[in-house]
Structure 1
Amino acid sequence: MSNADLLPSLLFKINQNQLAPEAWIMELTF
């Protein structure tokens, strides 16, 4: 895979990893 293919998938995984804890925090606090 080229970097052009790799970068979007990496960014997607990073975004998913950031969203998950925020969702857990929202569920725990409300």
Structure 2
Amino acid sequence: MGANLPSRSKKQHDKFSYINTRLIGMLLVLT
């Protein structure tokens, strides 16, 4: 389904996932 998406969209998704992981990691450190 996502195979026909432009590579730019995938890059933005990867960047979003990276930021999400960072936020979750920071929350785990704070608790």
Tell me the TM-score normalized by structure 2.
Answer: 0.66
Overall identity of the aligned pairs, in %:
7
Alignment of 1:13 with 2:17, yes or no, is yes
Shift >3 Å, 4+ stretches: none
TM-score (norm 1): 0.66
Supply the RMSD in Å over aligned alpha carbons: 0.8
Kindly tell me the number of residue pairs found equivalent between the two proteins. Answer: 27
Distance 1:6 1:21 in 2: 22
Gaps of 5+ in 1: none
